[in-house]
Amino acid sequence: MSSRERQNFVKGLLFVSPWLIGFLVFTLVPVGLSLYYSFCDFSLIERDTAGKTQAIWVGTENYRQLFQDREFYRTLKNTGLYAILSLPAGMLVSIGLALMLNAPIRGQAIYRTIIFLPSLVPVVASAMVWMWLFNARLGFFNQLLATIGIDGPAWIGDKKWALPALAMMSLWGVGNTVVIYLAGLQDIPRDLYEAAEIDGAGAIRRLFNVTLPMLSPVIFFNLIMALIGTLQVFALPFIMTGGGPERSTYMYTQYLYEKAFAYLQMGYASAMAWVQLLIILGLTAFAFWTSKRWVHYQGR
């Protein structure tokens, strides 16, 4: 390194040091620590004679128990089912909305605002609103159904309907994603459409052969983000159903949260956290692997 390079190196490190320290303390150490705890019996409240809490090494015991834990498989299944219900629906709805909101018609500013606003609503508040809408006797949906003589289900109070109901309400918050798709649509160069048209491509073919391939990097980005978000879903089911009825909406993160802070089994919860991290990393890696086939980067 020349002196200039060395100088820049020091300067650069100084500037990024806040993040570097934060990364060490709030990411790297916790991730490592939770790997260590996942091999320990650790309750956080039992203290030794010096008044310090102790983590006792138990080897792979937590993982052994975890893989025999019916609740683990149940929450895994519920979370997976929720993802399967809400992810594809969310993608279709947000791409469809973005396409419509990108059309040159009057009143787009108003349409866009209305579609976007729900994604601003704090999660607790939207939980309140939807609990009220879904209310079995007095809720809006069942009152509406009653006017046409249908006796509606109890929605989030019915173990068959609760999970689909939660997935349905997740569509209310797609506004954020729609904005990202809109930006992506507006980046597609116009001459591509002109060329396609000269070649005789109709509207449908232009959508599938120009718009969607050009949008694929953005679709890919949103898919990854949605995947990570959906697999850690917590607040909505926790507030709206508490995991019920009959644990039909009991999600992985809620189980982890309760293991850690209600049962104080920090070691067990850490093992759960690591399994969750590996699942998310695995699925993300899989998505990246398939992306070679369907994601088209311009100029690459």
Partner 1 sequence: MKRSPPELDYAIRGTKSPLPQRGQVVSNRARKSLNRLSVHLGLLLCCLGFGLPFAWMLSTSLKTLDAVSPTDGAASHSIQFIPDPVVWQNYANVVTNEKLDFPLYTRNTLIIAVLAVIGNTLSSAVVAYGFAKIKFKGRGVLFSIMLATMMIPFPVVMVSIFTLFRFIGDYTPLQMLGTFRPLWLPAWFGSAFSIFLLRQFFLTLPDDLSEAARIDGCSELGIFVRVMLPLARPALAVVALFTFMGVWNDFLGPLVYLQRPEQYTLALGLQVFQSAHGGTQWNMLMAASVLVIVPVILLFFLTQRTFIQGIATTGMKG
> 154: how many CB neighbours lie within 10 A of its CB?
18
C-alpha distances (whole Å) from 83 to each of 163, 236, 251, 252, 294 are 10, 14, 11, 12, 21
The count of residues in the chain is 300
Touching partner 1, residues 112-171 (CB under 8 A): 112-118, 120-133, 135, 137-138, 140, 143-144, 146-147
Q: Which is nearer to partner 1, 84 or 117 (CB)?
A: 117
Residue in 66, 85, 166, 182 binding partner 1, rule: CB under 8 A:
182
Touching partner 1, residues 47-66 (CB under 8 A): 52-53
Beta bridge partners of 47: 53
Q: Which is nearer to partner 1, 237 or 248 (CB)?
A: 237
Q: Which residue do the tokens 């607040």 mark?
A: 235
Evaluated on CA atoms 3, 8, 9, 11, the torsion sign reads positive
Q: Which is nearer to partner 1, 81 or 235 (CB)?
A: 235
Touching partner 1, residues 184-223 (CB under 8 A): 184-186, 188, 190, 193-194, 196-198, 203, 206-207, 211, 217-218, 220-222
Q: CA 269, CA 258: separation in Å to the nearest integer?
A: 8
Residue in 180, 209, 244, 258 binding partner 1, rule: CB under 8 A:
180
Closest approach of partner 1 to the CB of residue 70, in Å: 21
Closest approach of partner 1 to the CB of residue 34, in Å: 4
Q: Which residue do the tokens 């109901």 mark?
A: 165
